[in-house]
Chains A and B, each alone.
Chain A
């Protein structure tokens, strides 16, 4: 998946660099062969699965007595289920469950006309759609509920058996709070507190958090003097500010040594700076109706006022940052520490990164200090959660956020004109295609990509293993749904040729007809001509008959088929004659023969073979089967044939040389007998 790095300096809309030049990640490939390895070869399989063949130097197998493996074929799935938090079955459940909400949202988007789109995006109805989408997806992200019987039996359980939440769910809810839930904009801190209460347990025991670091630092506070000399002090302040614990931050600042009565005189400038920062912090604008009594910050009830105040506040911070007083501050830890705090308040992403310990804290920090920051959220999502999150969270991020929409829908020339939103969906679709059980839902995401979605869908379909009926039928169905006629036709051709060559000729013809492959059907029809005039075993004849029937009247060589059908009739009736002596059967055969010979579509090169096959009819013991006029027709044909044989381009039929004479004699005899009868 293309990484998100950028060189552009415009921070408000650019993609923020995560790491300047990412080092390639190295993965080991365990093959279990005895070294040395002579050759590697690679092949991409479904989706983004990579297959590597590892080969040792080949040796003739007779050389060694022991059976040493000469090579291994390995399969590597370059998938991205976050950090393995979710197992395969659960991931599939989420993938399948996400399809309907996603498709519904897309179809609602498409049905809104372009003109009214901007106003529609702000409408209440639209926000309802977004929340509906968000809740549907959210409901997929929890762990499966524990079975009720366990709770009843275990009487020692006091606490409610709460299912352990996943990071995916936590991240999703956070984004819902900040982006999609219009009504919660006013009371985000409260929502955040609730959220932290729900997901606090995700932190427990596994990694340091701001909270745990503070607790540790607090122990040290008691024993330390001149806290400002210790880097941990400044780190603690930055951390608390980053996640919005302003009160604790200011309290820590006021522990600075410069406030001590005996220090005030000599450290005036230093104290002034510390106090200035503390004051700035306590005046941080907050977008909410009111604050608790001991909470810091200034409240603004509506967005325009808030934004004005926010900009003013930031300007004040910048002014302080550029002040000349810093040069007079002799205590360098204070200077560096305070400067870093100012950077945190200005939303410097590196500072925020350094001040937080876990992605969730980083998220909150971003939410509080950097607006807008869609790009960072996207980048973090891609790093931590993979392509599913990228594809689905985009909808939340762009809800009502024109800037985000522009960022995600801007055509990236360097990638051939595709936009980030589409790229995310393509990547996710590729991941879905990597698994035999989820490839069928990839088309829904691909069809929402205007530029390159259909192209990728065609490729995914043309690489399916078609010898499995289910896969074939499913692929054809998808082609029909998305109007991919050429691809469908191609899949059918592949199936047809496979069946034709593997002894299922009838099935082969069927699929060729479905595919409307005239070239191959004509080739088959011509192939059937080869059997005219040859003796066939019963089975071969049945197969030959069956094919003619299948080819039916729809084949392009209508004239030729008419002949083949008549010839088939004739051969069938001849067979019945050969098996018995009934005159009726023989009569029918004679009728068929005349019909065949009179038909203008019967190619001349087959006249002699057909007449040769009919010798028994001419020499019929009971009575002459052909009357005078019928016999004359045959004689005329023979005459034509004799004339034609004199031409240089005549092709002799594969018959013994005396065949023509035998036929002529037999027909003449028949004529004689017929005249006598009349």
Chain B
């Protein structure tokens, strides 16, 4: 039933596929990045086309840049910094991966970054271990070198809340996958930290009139608001009148329906339609399929689960994949 596409070296820490599933980036414990390509769409054999050093520290996570801006990846390293690398062919026809931008570690480590295509420009949202969230704009559409800090805030509803210095273990974020030209892009963000107000997943939208980011929905029941969030994933919407977002916390995986119309306060209506058992522990990753009807998850129980909704809208575990030798 399964087919082996690639065998990875023993120093591999993480992998990431590009938008079309034709290129794989694999990071290693000594800071090397390897790129694997497949010859044609029908074949399932991959070869390593590039290998280069990103940093002296281990690579924790790789995120591909949206393809409209080039063949490029962002690497998050264990020293808390991250950098952007792009594949180019210069004169003399040599293919190489070049460093475009390094975001050094300041006082805090970066926990996660995600790219969002916003009208015609590229945005990068980064979450840090001190609870800060920064949004960067790409200034030049053909170069990944110049980024400008556009906004900086914390994942709280009341912007005037005061609390002590947060310590965050991880952050989870996901942009709305909708690709409409006219649409304002929004993203959902949650934290795993020691400050309850930071944790709950909130949907952030850009308010053009006031030129700032506003939280328009909170995806947590009143009694769950302080729960640590492990993962969030926004489902592709191919024609539903509402959005579906999956949120994984210590209590399990919740499915949320988010309405499209703003109420007089500018907020969106939310409804939790399911609470699934999850993985008896920490959920590592969640991925929606292209139709937004099947959710694949992995967690610390070491299995892959598929979740679907039946015709009555009831979510259940559809299949389970158990790795065996």
Contact = CB atoms under 8 A, between A and B. Distances in A.
A301 B11 CA distance: 78
Interface of A: 1-7, 15, 21-22, 24-35, 37, 39-56, 58-61, 64, 67-78, 412-418, 420, 426-427, 430, 433, 436-437, 451-456, 458-460, 462-468, 471, 486, 490, 493-494, 497-498, 500-503, 519-520, 523-524, 527, 539
Interface string B126-169: 00000000000000111000000000000000000000000000
B205 interface: no
B291 A501 contact: no
B310 A3 contact: yes
A50 B21 CA distance: 10
16 contacts: A15-B311, A27-B322, A31-B324, A44-B288, A59-B10, A69-B10, A72-B8, A414-B311, A417-B240, A437-B42, A452-B238, A455-B239, A465-B22, A471-B41, A498-B71, A503-B93
Interface in B1-60: 1-17, 19-22, 24, 28-30, 40-42, 44, 58
Contacts of A456: 238, 290-291
Q: Is the interface of A mostly helix, strand, loop or mixed?
A: mixed
A498 B313 CA distance: 42
Contact of A486 (B3, B181, B316): B181
Interface in B78-120: 86-91, 93, 95, 120
B212 interface: no
A110 B169 CA distance: 57
B280 interface: no
B11 A48 contact: no
Given A26-B320, A27-B322, A70-B9, 6 more contacts: A26-B319, A73-B24, A74-B2, A452-B240, A501-B71, A502-B88
Contacts of B21: 43, 45-46, 49, 51, 463, 465
B269 to A, nearest CB: 15
B86 A501 contact: yes
A216 B90 CA distance: 80
A68 B58 CA distance: 19
A74 to B, nearest CB: 4
Contact of A29 (B7, B30, B322): B322
A42 B298 contact: yes
B8 A70 contact: yes
A415 B309 contact: yes
Nearest to A485: B181
Interface stretch (B62-70, B189-197, B221-229): B62-70
Given A41-B285, A494-B67, A75 B323 contact: no
B304 interface: yes
Contacts of A60: 11, 29-30
Of A7, A53, A430, A453, which is in contact with the most chain B CB atoms at under 10 Å from its CB? A53
A6 B311 CA distance: 7
Contacts of A413: 313
Interface of B: 1-17, 19-22, 24, 28-30, 40-42, 44, 58, 67-71, 86-91, 93, 95, 120, 140-142, 179-181, 236-242, 284-285, 287-291, 293-294, 296-298, 302-306, 308-314, 316-325
A465 B24 CA distance: 13
B311 A42 contact: no
Given A27-B321, A452-B239, A497-B69, A73 B13 contact: no
A501 B312 CA distance: 49
B279 to A, nearest CB: 10
Given A24-B317, A72-B7, A497-B67, A5 B141 contact: no
A498 B70 contact: yes
A52 to B, nearest CB: 6
A470 to B, nearest CB: 9
Contacts of A24: 305-306, 316-320
Given A43-B21, A463-B20, A59 B11 contact: yes
Contact of B323 (A7, A54, A59, A73): A54
B42 A51 contact: no
B9 A7 contact: no
A46 B41 CA distance: 10
A420 to B, nearest CB: 7
A613 B187 CA distance: 53
A25 B319 contact: yes
Contacts of A39: 14, 284
Contacts of A500: 142
A40 B302 contact: yes
Contacts of A454: 239
A67 B321 CA distance: 27
